């Protein structure tokens, strides 16, 4: 069977399994196993298990569950509450200040947790009810949290950047720092649109009962500072981890292990979470997400191996390489592919399957791989707030079930356009992503 026909059959079978509700990891594994058995016979079953667990035993993958545990310790503690309330008390008097403080809280919490779902859930549980109570439109309240949560996979430390670094054999420390300024740029674009949306909807001039909020949390500025001070040790841990990575003092796995331990200890000491139940909840959440992500990664790697074994990958790559088009047209095609893939697959699966295929094409077109990592990540961020998967949309729906899904979607779509604008700006000014890593770590070799 020729590679093109094989490719259509494999992709069609995968889409069919996902359409009927099969978990992504199982769908990837089942299609891969079926294709390999049909191509090579049942002897392939002997090596499937060994390949499956062999892919999971890579030392670099140890960073993923550790960063997830670190994020779980932060997400399960009242850190998000303190961060949100401190920012609200400082920024709540500004026009549209509550919505802007939610985006700022999402940006900071993204750096603490490295997880988009955790960021949306932690800040959304507090921010959405408060914004609605103060008269903000449902679309603005839901959209700013859904979009702010996507920053969790871009602002360092980021699990998706770790997966990209492992898949493409690029420096994880450089990837982390390459995502810092673009993450802040997106946060700024989100804030600008939030101000515009509030002004258009009239929600910006709704009376803002800051005093009422203060009475629930602190009675004065000193109390506000205490709430902020409780967050600072967690920020210090994140900054120390990034410093260790950029300085070459530790590998990602070592830095993640130390960070997870310190965040767990801080959660116990600062928030007195020494009982068995909260610690058990942290471990349960970290284990659940780690297993899910690791299964997706390994299944996606086997799926990529299957595509390569059937010469599907080589055929697609050669077809793209043979296209006699301007390199920016090529980049536009790649962006469109990533955007569509992000609509249906989680970021980790897209990166594991697509990054090794696209990297040689990117390098041949003379694009920087670290700049491309940021472009890829923003495309996948868009997928988090667009249907049919749109993970953050469903998290917001779970937080505020009385808000119509249509209102959540319509409130989130302008932020997706902000991300498209961010991609355009990065294409026009690549140094937004490359200046800081080149400054700190020197030019990439």
Q: Is pLDDT above 80 for 301?
A: no
Which segment of 16-25, 70-79, 209-218, 356-365 scores lowest on mean pLDDT? 209-218
SS3 category, 385? coil
Buried b (16+ CB within 10 A) or exposed e, 268-290: bebbebeeeebbeebeebbeebb
Give the pLDDT confidence score for residue 55 in this predicted structure. 64
pTM of the entire predicted model: 0.81
What are the C-alpha distances in Å from 289 to residues 7, 72, 115, 247? 30, 9, 10, 29
Instruction: Give the mean pLDDT of 227-255.
Output: 78
Q: List pLDDT tens digits, range 6-35.
A: 888 888 888 888 778 788 788 888 888 888
Q: List pLDDT tens digits, range 363-421.
A: 888 999 999 999 999 999 998 888 776 778 888 888 888 888 888 888 889 999 999 99
More confident residue, 423 or 234: 423
More confident residue, 118 or 378: 378
Q: Is pLDDT above 50 for 208?
A: no
Q: List pLDDT tens digits, range 328-366.
A: 998 998 999 889 888 878 888 888 888 888 888 898 889
Q: Where are the alpha helices (DSSP H) in 202-275?
A: 210-217, 221-246, 252-270
Q: Do the beta carbons of residue 352 and residue 316 sit within 8 Å?
A: no
Sign of the dihedral defined by the CA atoms of residues 369, 372, 374, 379, in that order = negative
Q: List pLDDT tens digits, range 88-109.
A: 666 656 666 778 888 888 888 8
DSSP 96-143: THHHHHHHHHHHHHHHHH--HHHHHHHHHHHHHHHHHHTT--HHHHHH
Number of structural domains (the chain) is 1
Phi, psi for 417 (deg, rounded to 5) = -65, -35
Sign of the dihedral defined by the CA atoms of residues 307, 311, 314, 316, in that order = negative
Q: List pLDDT tens digits, range 36-48.
A: 888 877 776 766 6
Give the pLDDT confidence score for residue 211 in this predicted structure. 45
Confidence of residue 212 (pLDDT cuts 50, 70, 90): very low
Confidence of residue 183 (pLDDT cuts 50, 70, 90): very high
Give the pLDDT confidence score for residue 29 in this predicted structure. 84
Cβ atoms within 10 A of the Cβ of 46, count?
Answer: 8
Sole residue written with tokens 């086997």: 302
Q: What is the CA radius of gyration of the chain?
A: 22
Beta carbons within 8 Å of 312's beta carbon, 6+ residues apart: 3, 6, 7, 10
Domain range for 255: 3-441
Q: DSSP character for 442? A: -
Please report how the helices 405-428 and 138-150 are oriented relative to each other, as an axis angle in degrees rounded to 10: 50
Sign of the dihedral defined by the CA atoms of residues 397, 403, 408, 409, in that order = positive
């Amino acid at each position: 069977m020729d590679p093109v026909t094989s490719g259509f059959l494999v992709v069609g079978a995968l889409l069919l399994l996902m359409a009927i509700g099969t978990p992504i990891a199982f769908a990837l594994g089942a299609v891969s196993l079926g294709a390999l058995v049909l191509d090579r016979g049942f002897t392939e079953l002997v090596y499937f298990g060994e390949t499956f667990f062999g892919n999971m035993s890579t030392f670099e993958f140890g960073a993923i569950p550790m960063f997830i545990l670190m994020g779980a310790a932060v997400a399960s503690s009242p850190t998000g509450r303190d961060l949100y309330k401190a920012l609200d008390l400082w920024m709540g008097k500004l026009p549209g200040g509550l919505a802007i403080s939610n985006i700022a809280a999402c940006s900071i919490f993204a750096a603490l947790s490295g997880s988009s779902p955790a960021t949306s859930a932690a800040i959304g549980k507090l921010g959405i009810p408060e914004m609605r109570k103060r008269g903000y439109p449902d679309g603005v309240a839901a959209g700013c949290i859904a979009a702010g949560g996507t920053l969790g996979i871009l602002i360092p430390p980021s699990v998706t950047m770790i997966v990209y670094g492992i898949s493409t054999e690029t420096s994880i420390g450089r990837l982390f720092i390459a995502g810092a300024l673009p993450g802040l740029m997106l946060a700024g674009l989100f804030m600008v649109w939030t101000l515009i949306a509030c002004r258009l909807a009239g929600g910006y001039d709704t009376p803002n009962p800051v005093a009422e909020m203060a009475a629930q949390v602190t009675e004065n500025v000193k109390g506000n500072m205490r709430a902020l001070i409780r967050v600072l040790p967690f920020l210090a841990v994140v900054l120390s981890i990034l410093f260790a990575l950029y300085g070459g003092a530790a590998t990602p796995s070592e830095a993640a292990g130390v960070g997870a331990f310190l965040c767990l200890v801080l959660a116990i000491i600062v928030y007195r979470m020494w009982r068995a139940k909260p610690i058990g909840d942290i471990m349960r959440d970290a284990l659940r997400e780690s297993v899910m992500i690791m299964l997706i990664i390994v299944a996606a790697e086997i799926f990529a191996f299957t595509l390569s074994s059937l010469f599907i990958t080589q055929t697609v790559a050669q077809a793209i390489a043979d296209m006699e088009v301007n390199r920016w047209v090529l980049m536009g095609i790649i962006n469109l592919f990533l955007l569509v893939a992000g609509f249906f697959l989680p970021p980790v699966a897209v990166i594991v399957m697509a990054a090794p295929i696209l990297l040689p094409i990117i390098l041949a077109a003379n694009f920087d791989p670290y700049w491309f990592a940021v472009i890829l990540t923003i495309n996948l961020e868009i997928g988090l707030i667009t249907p049919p998967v749109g993970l953050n949309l469903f998290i917001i729906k779970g937080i505020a079930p009385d808000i119509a899904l249509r209102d959540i979607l319509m409130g989130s779509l302008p932020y997706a356009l902000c991300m498209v604008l961010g991609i355009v700006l990065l294409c026009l000014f690549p140094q937004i992503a490359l200046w800081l890593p080149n400054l700190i770590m020197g030019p990439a070799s």
